[in-house]
C-alpha cells in the first residue's frame, strides 16, 4: 500500500488534472487521499508546498519516462523523433492532459515565486535536453519551441496532428 505522502501526491495529480490548482482544496485532498489532517501537515506546510512537491515529483517522473522512451535510439534525428513520439504516448496515457507545469502556471498569481521557480526550472531542463542533443543552439531552441507548442496544441484540440506535423518540419530542418 502506498505511504500517506504517496497517496497525497497521487490524489493531488488526479484533482489538479480534473479541477485545476485553484479549485482543489487541502481538505478535499486529505479526504480523497484517505489520510489524517496531521499526516498532511507532517509533510506539507501549505497547499503551495504541496504544489512544489507535486511538480518536483512530476518533473522526475516525466523526464525519466522521456529518457527511457528515447534510450534505444542512437542518432540525434531518431532521438528527436522519439521525443515527439513520447508526446503522443503521453497523450494516449493521460488523455491529452497537457503540461502539468503550464496548467498550474495559468492559475498561480504572478508573484508566486516559489511555484514559478519550479516551473521555470522544468522548462530550462527541457530546453537543455534539446540543447544537449544538438550542436546548433538556434536549431535546438527551434525544436524546443515546436515541442512546447505541440504539447499545448495537442491538449487544446485533443489531437496528435500537430505533433506529427512538427516531426515533418524537423526532418526538413535537419
For the domain that residue 55 is a member of, what is the CATH number? 1.10.357.10
The answer to whether residues 22 and 79 belong to one domain is no
Measured CA to CA, the distance from residue 174 to residue 171 in angstroms comes to 5
Residue 57 is predicted with a pLDDT of 96
Quote the domain boundaries for residue 119.
46-173
Domain total of the chain: 2
Q: Do 38 and 101 have their domain in common?
A: no
CA nearest 12: which of 110, 116, 131, 103?
A: 103
pLDDT interval class at 5 (50, 70, 90): very high
- pLDDT given at position 1: 85
Q: Do 141 and 93 belong to one domain?
A: yes
- 20 and 100 housed in the same domain: no
Q: Based on the fold, state whether residues 21 and 87 are members of the same structural domain.
A: no
Q: Which of 126, 46, 61, 133 is nearest to 97 (CA)?
A: 61
* Gap between the Cα atoms of 60 and 122, Å rounded: 9
The three-class DSSP label of residue 109 is coil
Same domain, 62 and 28: no
Average pLDDT, the chain: 97
Q: What is the pLDDT of residues 70-110, one digit of tens each?
A: 999 999 999 999 999 999 999 999 999 999 999 999 999 99
Angle between helices 76-94 and 161-173 (to 10 degrees): 170
What predicted TM-score, i.e. pTM, was given to this entire model?
0.94
pLDDT in tens, 121-166: 999 999 999 999 999 999 999 999 999 999 999 999 999 999 999 9
User: Which residue in the block uniquely carries the three cell numbers 495537442?
Assistant: 154
Q: Is the pLDDT of residue 62 over 90?
A: yes
Identify the domain boundary among 44, 63, 79.
44
- pLDDT of 79: 98
Same domain, 75 and 60: yes
Query: pLDDT at residue 29 above 90?
Result: yes
- Is there a single domain that holds both residue 15 and residue 81? no
Identify whether residues 159 and 145 lie together within a single domain.
Answer: yes
Residues 6 and 71 in one domain: no
CATH number, domain containing residue 15: 1.10.10.60
Q: Comparing C-alpha atoms, which of 120, 148, 126, 151 is closest to residue 55?
A: 120
Same domain, yes or no: 51 and 130: yes
Domain shared by 118 and 163, yes or no: yes
Specify the 3-state DSSP secondary structure of 43. Answer: helix
% pLDDT > 70, the chain? 100
* Nearest one of 27, 26, 37 to 4, comparing CA atoms: 37
Amino acid at each position: 500500500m502506498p505511504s500517506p505522502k504517496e497517496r497525497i501526491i497521487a490524489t493531488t495529480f488526479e484533482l489538479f488534472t480534473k479541477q485545476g490548482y485553484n479549485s482543489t482544496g487541502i481538505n478535499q485532498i486529505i479526504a480523497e487521499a484517505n489520510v489524517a489532517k496531521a499526516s498532511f501537515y507532517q509533510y506539507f506546510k501549505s497547499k503551495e508546498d504541496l504544489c512544489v512537491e507535486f511538480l518536483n515529483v512530476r518533473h522526475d517522473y516525466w523526464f525519466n519516462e522521456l529518457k527511457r522512451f528515447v534510450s534505444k535510439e542512437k542518432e540525434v534525428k531518431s532521438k528527436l523523433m522519439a521525443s515527439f513520439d513520447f508526446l503522443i504516448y503521453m497523450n494516449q496515457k493521460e488523455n491529452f492532459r497537457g503540461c502539468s507545469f503550464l496548467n498550474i502556471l495559468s492559475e498561480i498569481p504572478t508573484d508566486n515565486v516559489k511555484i514559478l521557480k519550479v516551473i521555470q526550472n522544468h522548462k530550462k531542463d527541457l530546453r537543455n535536453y534539446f540543447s544537449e542533443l544538438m550542436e546548433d543552439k538556434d536549431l535546438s531552441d527551434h525544436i524546443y519551441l515546436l515541442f512546447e507548442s505541440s504539447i499545448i496544441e495537442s491538449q487544446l484540440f485533443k489531437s496528435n496532428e500537430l505533433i506529427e506535423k512538427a516531426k515533418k518540419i524537423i526532418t526538413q530542418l535537419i
